[in-house]
Each structure stands twice: as structure tokens, then as C-alpha cells.
A and B are shown apart, each in its own frame.
Chain A
Amino acid sequence: EPEVTQTPSHQVTQMGQEVILRCVPISNHLYFYWYRQILGQKVEFLVSFYNNEISEKSEIFDDQFSVERPDGSNFTLKIRSTKLEDSAMYFCAGARDTEAFFGQGTRLTVV
């Protein structure tokens, strides 16, 4: 069964460094999303991506965040200058219509 895959599963980075989180959505998905979940807190929407552009973003998704789908398969989230409070699980999701399929997440630890 196809699934959304995310790499790496765990990333440790120093504060101020740039990180790129990668996702390979299911091939027939049209809509792509990034969510984050700080430990012990709710899943929060970051950004949605459709037709090679951002369709919606939350107030969390500020100028330090960016997304790309550079080659038609990978979908990336870049955090330019990480802060301690960026430590969280980051989930990629894809959807063709109503059903959104989530990846297993990347646990980002900023030290």
C-alpha cells in the first residue's frame, strides 16, 4: 500500500542552523501539507501547497519557513534559522480529495 514517507526520522540541529525536512507523497496526491506537533500538544497546521504554490499558511509559517516541490515528487520544508521552540514532530500529509494521509513524521530537536 502506498504511503507518505518522510526523512529523516530524527534530526538534531544547533540553534541558528538551517534544516530541510523531506517528504515523498503518494504519487496521485494533488494537495500537500506540513503540520507540526510540539511534544504533548495538538497537531497544528503550517502550510498547504497546491499546483506548485502555497495555497494557505498559518501564522506559525513565518519568513523562516519555506516549502518546495522541486522535482515533482519530493516535498520539502526548510527552516532557515532554527530556534529552540522549533523542536517538534513535523508531519507531511498528502490528499487527492477529502482523505489526507500523513507520514510518520520527522522529530526535530534544536539544541
Chain B
Amino acid sequence: QKEVEQDPGPLSVPEGAIVSLNCTYSNSAFQYFMWYRQYSRKGPELLMYTYSSGNKEDGRFTAQVDKSSKYISLFIRDSQPSDSATYLCAAAYNTNAGKSTFGDGTTLTVKP
């Protein structure tokens, strides 16, 4: 069983749609949960991180973690074509994001 599993996609939505990206994880020792955005042939760019369970909002992006169900979500409101990228969820045991374990990524296309 993979430690972090991500809905594979790809996902294609019209501009302005609400996007939901989801991951599950198996290791209950994970405490930090991150979402990265990766454009083609570029490095991952940290969007948000969340500690333990709860919600975190940053502009059009909301990250949710439910540790009871080991479920991680990222919501994008009013999606834009510039949001088109691969989104990676990741989980880590400790505060320095040390050994982050990544999901496979979901490729999102937002059509104008």
C-alpha cells in the first residue's frame, strides 16, 4: 500500500469552476500535510501546509486535513487557466518537512 495515494486524474474543468483535489494516506504518524504545484519540467512550488487536522485558507485555495479518515483535500475556487498544473500532495513526520512523502500528482487543466 502506498503511504500517500492521490486521485490520479487528469482533471479538466472550465474556468471559474471549483476544483477538488484529494489524497489519502496510510501512516498515522504523519503530522504535516503539504500541497505543491508543479509546472512541466519545473520544481514543486509549495502552495500550503497544514499541521494535523483542520482547514487552512489562502486566497482561492483551501486545504483540509481529516486525520480521523486520513484524508487530505485541496479546493480551488474560481479556477483560472493559470492554475493548470500538476498538484502534488505530500506528508511529513516533523516540522522541517524532512522526509516528505509525495503522492503521484493530479494534472489539472482549466479551460478558458
Most buried by A among B45, B51, B99: B99
Distance in angstroms between the alpha carbons of A100 and B47 in the assembled complex: 11
Question: Please, which residues of chain A bring their CB within 8 A of the CB of B105?
Answer: 42
Number of A interface residues at 8 Å Cβ cutoff, please give it: 28
With contacts A43-B88, A43-B102 known, is A31 near B43, CB below 8 A? no
Contact (Cβ within 8 A) B43 A97: no
Are B104 and A42 closer than 8 Å at their CB atoms? Answer: yes
- Let me know if A98 and B99 touch, CB within 8 A: no
Let me know if A99 and B46 touch, CB within 8 A.
yes
Which of A55, A89, A102 has a CB less than 8 Å from the CB of B45?
A102
Which chain B residues have a beta carbon within 8 Å of chain A's beta carbons?
32, 34, 36, 41-46, 49, 51, 88, 90, 95-105
Contact A44 B102 (CB under 8 A): yes
- Interface pairs (23), CB distance under 8 Å: A4-B43, A31-B96, A31-B98, A33-B98, A41-B104, A42-B104, A43-B44, A44-B102, A45-B101, A48-B96, A55-B98, A91-B44, A95-B96, A95-B97, A97-B96, A98-B51, A99-B49, A100-B34, A102-B44, A103-B43, A104-B42, A105-B42, A107-B41
A residues in contact with B95, CB < 8 Å = 97-98
Q: How far is the CB of A97 from chain B (nearest CB, A)?
A: 6
A58 within 8 A of B: yes
Contact of B100 among A100, A104, A107 (CB under 8 A): A100
Q: Interface residues of A: mostly helix, strand, loop or mixed?
A: strand
Q: How far is the CA of A105 from the CA of B44 in the complex (A)?
A: 9
Give chain B residues whose Cβ lies under 8 Å from the Cβ of A100. Answer: 34, 46, 96-97, 100
A56 adjacent to chain B (CB < 8 Å): yes
CA distance A89 to B97 in the complex (A): 20
In this complex, what residue of A is CB-closest to B2?
Answer: A42
